[in-house]
Chains A and B, each alone.
Chain A
Amino acid sequence: MTDSRYSQFTFNTVEVGAGLTKALGLKRSDVIGEISASGMKGRGGAGFPTGVKWNLAAAARDEEKYVVCNADEGEPGTFKDRVILSEWPYLLFEGMTIAGYAIGASKGIVYLRGEYTYLRKMLEDVLQKRRENGLLGTNAGGKEGFTFDIHIHMGSGAYICGEETALIESLEGQRGEPRNRPPFPVDTGFMGHPTAVNNVETFAWAACILAKGGAWFKGIGTEKSTGLKLFSISGDVENPGVYEFPMGITIKELLKKVGGSDAKAVQIGGASGRCVPASQFDRAIAYEDIATGGSVIVFGPDRDMLEVAENFLEFFVEESCGQCTPCRLGNVKLLEGVRMLKDGDCSMKYLKELCKLGETMQTASKCGLGQSSPNAFLSIVENFKSEIIGRTGVYA
C-alpha cells in the first residue's frame, strides 16, 4: 500500500502496466526514440542521456545482452531508490523490461546493496507474480518472441560497487575494482556482453515516459535538464524525506518547501557532491548548474563545516578501492589536512598545497570516486575560509 507521504507523486498517477503495454506495441527503435525525445538523463548522478545509452546497447551486435539495474544506492544522503524499491517496484521492473525489449536483451539483473537485504523478499515476490502473470519469461508481456527475466544479485557492503564497471566486476565474482573506460559496458559489459546499466529511478521514469509520452517529460524542467526528479532531503530541515521536484528548481525554492530556510549551506550530490553556501542559494539544481543524483543534506547555522568535510573524507578513505595512487593516498592526506585545520595547525601554504592535491586527484584518478572525492573539501575551503582558518585548537 502506498505511503500517504507519496500520494501526490507522479509515479502514483501512472497506470500500472501502461508503459510496458505501450512499449511492446511499438518497434524497438521507436521505444528508444520516445526515451530520446524525453531528453531524460540518467538519474544515478552522472547524467548520461538514457536514450543515447540504450541506442548504443541496441546497436551492439551480440546474441546475448544484459539490462542491469544499479540499486547499490550508497552515496551518503541518498535514499530515494530505497523508496522507489519499496513503493513502486513494479515501475522499476516495467522499466527494465522495456529496456530489455528496446536493446534486445533477455536477461535483467538488479544489483541490490547488501544493506537493503530486508527488501529482497518483497522484490522476489513481485517478480514471481510478474512471472505468473506472463509479464516475465517467454513471450513476456504477451509479445511473441520476446523473452525476458529478471533476477536479484546482492551486494556485500562496498560503496564503490555503485560505479558501473565495479558493479560488473562484482557481478562476475571479482573484487569491486573499477575498470578502465572505454570500453564502456554498452559494448563490453557483464561477461563481455553489451550491458545497459541504469539507476533504479531511471528505469521507473522510463516506464512513465512510455506511458505518458516523451514530450510530456520534456515539457517539464529546463531545456538541458528535462523532467521530474526525486530528491533525498536530510539534515537540518523541518520535513526531511523524499520529494519530487522538477529539474531546475533553485536551492532557495527547495529549502522553502522542505522547511530549511535558515540553512547556512547545503551539500548537493552526497559526499561526492559540492557544498553550496547560502550566498549561492539562487543557483539551480540542474545538469547545467549544480548536477546531482538527488541528495541534499542541509546544514543549519550552528554546524561546523570542518566536521562535515572530515566525515566525508573518512568515508572516502574507507571506500576507496585502493587501485590507484591519487585516490588511495590523496584522500588520506586531505583527511589529515582537515584534522590539522581543526587543531589550528594548518598553514595557509600547506592548505594551498592540499587544494592543488585535490585538483590533481580530480584529473588523475581512475574512476569517479577519486575524481569527485575532493569536491566537498575544495568547496568548503573555498566558501568557508573564514570559518576554518585560524582555529585555536580549543574546539568545542
Chain B
Amino acid sequence: MLVTERDKLTGELKKLVEECGGDRSALIPILQEVQKRYHHISDFAMQIIADLLNIHPVEVYGVVTFYQFLSEDYHGKFVIRLCQTVSCLMQGTDKVAHQLETELGIEFGETTPDSRFTLEWANCLGMCDQGPAMLVNDQIFTRVTPEKVHDILEACRKAFGPHTAQMMQEELV
C-alpha cells in the first residue's frame, strides 16, 4: 500500500472511531463499517483500529476471524449468501446454487476475478416459508428460481457504481 493511501485510510479510520466512540464495545460497529466501505478488513486497518482503541491487534484479529460477516479476505462489491438450511433445501436450493455458480463462473467461497461478486453459503436466513432464500449484501430475495438468478445478477451488474444499493432497489422492487 502506498504511503499516501495509508495516510488516507488512517485518517478515515480515526474519524470513524470518533463517530462510534472509542471504547471496546464500539469495536464491532467499527469493523462492520470498515467491512462495508472497503469490502475487507486489512492487517493495516486492524493495526490502526487496535491503536486507536488501545487494545492489542490480536484482539481485533480474534474478533474479525470469529464473525461470518467480517473478513480479512477481499469480498466482492456484492456478497451473495444463499441459505443452506434444510427448509430452503427442500424447496430447491440445489438448482439455484448450481445456476449461481454457472452464471458467475466461480464456486461457493470464491470471488469473481473482477471483484464484483462473492458467493457464500449462509445458515438460516429466517425465510423458511418462502425458500429458496438469499441475501445480496443487505437485501433479501425469496422464492429464488434459477431463472431469477440471472435477473438478480444483471440488476447488480447495472447498479455497479457509487449508488449501488439504491439503484438495485429501484431495479428490482
- Give the distance in Å from the alpha carbon of A265 to the alpha carbon of B81 in the complex: 29
Q: Which of A238-254 contact B (CB under 8 A)?
A: 240-242
Interface class of chain B by DSSP: mixed
Taking CB atoms, residues of chain B closer than 8 Å to A88 are none
Known: A76-B87, A157-B68, A311-B86. A115 touches B122 (CB 8 A): yes
For B, the interface residue count at a CB cutoff of 8 angstroms equals 37
Of A16-24, A45-53, A227-235, which binds chain B?
A227-235
Known: A157-B67, A173-B27, A311-B89. A319 touches B128 (CB 8 A): no
- Give the distance in Å from the alpha carbon of A326 to the alpha carbon of B67 in the complex: 22
- Give the distance in Å from the alpha carbon of A252 to the alpha carbon of B81 in the complex: 35
Taking CB atoms, residues of chain A closer than 8 Å to B124 are 74-78
Q: Which residue, of B29, B122, B125, B129, has the highest number of chain A Cβ atoms within 10 A?
A: B129
Which B residue's beta carbon lies closest to that of A114? B69
Known: A173-B24, A318-B123. A79 touches B128 (CB 8 A): yes
Chosen A-B contacts, 30 in total, with CB atoms closer than 8 Å, are: A74-B124, A77-B87, A77-B124, A79-B127, A82-B126, A114-B68, A115-B125, A115-B126, A117-B138, A154-B29, A156-B28, A156-B32, A157-B67, A158-B67, A158-B68, A170-B28, A172-B24, A172-B25, A173-B27, A174-B63, A175-B63, A234-B128, A234-B131, A235-B128, A242-B129, A297-B128, A308-B86, A311-B84, A312-B86, A321-B66
Which B residue's beta carbon lies closest to that of A74? B124
- Give the distance in Å from the alpha carbon of A312 to the alpha carbon of B89 in the complex: 12
Known: A158-B68, A297-B86. A232 touches B129 (CB 8 A): yes
Taking CB atoms, residues of chain B closer than 8 Å to A171 are 25
Binary B-proximity of A213-241 (CB < 8 A = 1, otherwise 0): 00000000000000000001111100011
- Give the distance in Å from the alpha carbon of A207 to the alpha carbon of B84 in the complex: 35
Q: Which residues of A are in contact with B by a Cβ distance under 8 Å?
A: 73-79, 81-82, 113-118, 153-154, 156-159, 170-176, 191, 232-236, 240-242, 297, 303, 307-308, 311-312, 314-315, 318-319, 321
- The verdict on B99 contacting chain A, using a C-beta distance below 8 Å, is no
